């Protein structure tokens, strides 16, 4: 693949990720949209489309990190670079990016399954009661309470994935069909 093609594809992917990540600010302004964000869709999108998979991890995690700093500043009026449970949050998104790399053929069914699996992993990992102090007992029953309490947030995440996966995956597929410079050599050979 020529460097011009790689650069154009990478630039378009990064710009789409940055544009989508800007929508995270809506959940700050409108509290009922809590967790209705593009982050899950961005992780899947990056994993699916970057030819060099390390770029998916860098682009997605860097955009998440920078938007976290901005959102934390909006909430606290302080620059918070890292918080106690950041490692769990970022590990969850690393797994989501990996799930995106498993999407070999982009279609509605594959993206929907990847999205559902990603949301379930997020739900099971992020809602462990010992991650957030004493909100819930640090027992199996406390974990169950935490999972139940998180259902509205995970529902919003799934709805956000549906919308933003449609926009990101659909938008890039449309662009690839119009502009061959966005296609990989393997796609051009077909």
Question: What's the chain's average pLDDT?
Answer: 89
CA atoms within 13 A on the CB side of 136: 19
From CA 45, how far away is CA 182, in angstroms rounded?
A: 15
CA torsion 109-111-115-121 (nearest 10°) is: 90
Determine contact, residues 162/115, Cβ cutoff 8 Å.
Answer: yes
Tokens 């410079």 -> residue: 181
More confident residue, 165 or 1: 165
> Which candidate, 186, 184, 48, places its Cα nearest to that of 110?
48
From CA 179, how far away is CA 102, in angstroms rounded?
A: 24
Determine contact, residues 47/103, Cβ cutoff 8 Å.
Answer: yes
Q: Residue 132 gets which letter from DSSP?
A: G
Q: Residue 131 gets which letter from DSSP?
A: G
pLDDT at 7 over 80: yes
The structural domain count of the chain equals 1
The total of other beta-carbon atoms located within 10 Å of residue 115's CB is 25
> How high is the pLDDT of residue 78?
87
pLDDT at 149 over 70: yes
Q: Answer yes or no: pTM beyond 0.75.
A: yes
Question: Over the stretch 16-70, which tens digit does the pLDDT of each residue have?
Answer: 999 999 888 877 777 777 888 899 999 999 999 999 999 999 999 999 999 999 9
Task: Provide the residue range defining the domain that includes 131.
Answer: 3-189
> How high is the pLDDT of residue 54?
96
> How high is the pLDDT of residue 176?
93
Q: What's the rounded mean pLDDT across residues 121-148?
A: 84
């Amino acid at each position: 693949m020529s460097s011009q093609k790689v650069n154009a594809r990478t630039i378009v992917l990064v710009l789409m990720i940055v544009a989508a990540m800007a929508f995270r600010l809506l959940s700050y302004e409108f509290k009922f949209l809590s967790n209705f964000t593009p982050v899950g869709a961005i992780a899947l999108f990056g994993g699916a489309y970057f030819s060099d998979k390390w770029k998916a991890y860098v682009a997605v995690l860097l955009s998440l990190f920078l938007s976290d700093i901005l959102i934390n500043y909006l909430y606290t009026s302080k620059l918070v670079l890292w918080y106690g449970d950041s490692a769990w949050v970022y590990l969850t998104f690393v797994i989501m990016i990996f799930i995106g790399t498993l999407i070999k053929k982009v279609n509605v069914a594959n993206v929907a399954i990847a999205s559902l699996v990603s949301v379930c992993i997020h739900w099971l990992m992020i809602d462990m009661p010992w991650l957030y102090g004493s909100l819930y007992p640090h027992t199996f029953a406390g974990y169950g309470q935490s999972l139940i309490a998180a259902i509205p947030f995970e529902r919003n995440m799934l709805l956000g994935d549906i919308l933003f996966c449609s926009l990101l995956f659909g938008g890039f597929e449309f662009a690839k069909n119009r502009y061959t410079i966005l296609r990989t050599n393997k796609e051009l050979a077909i």
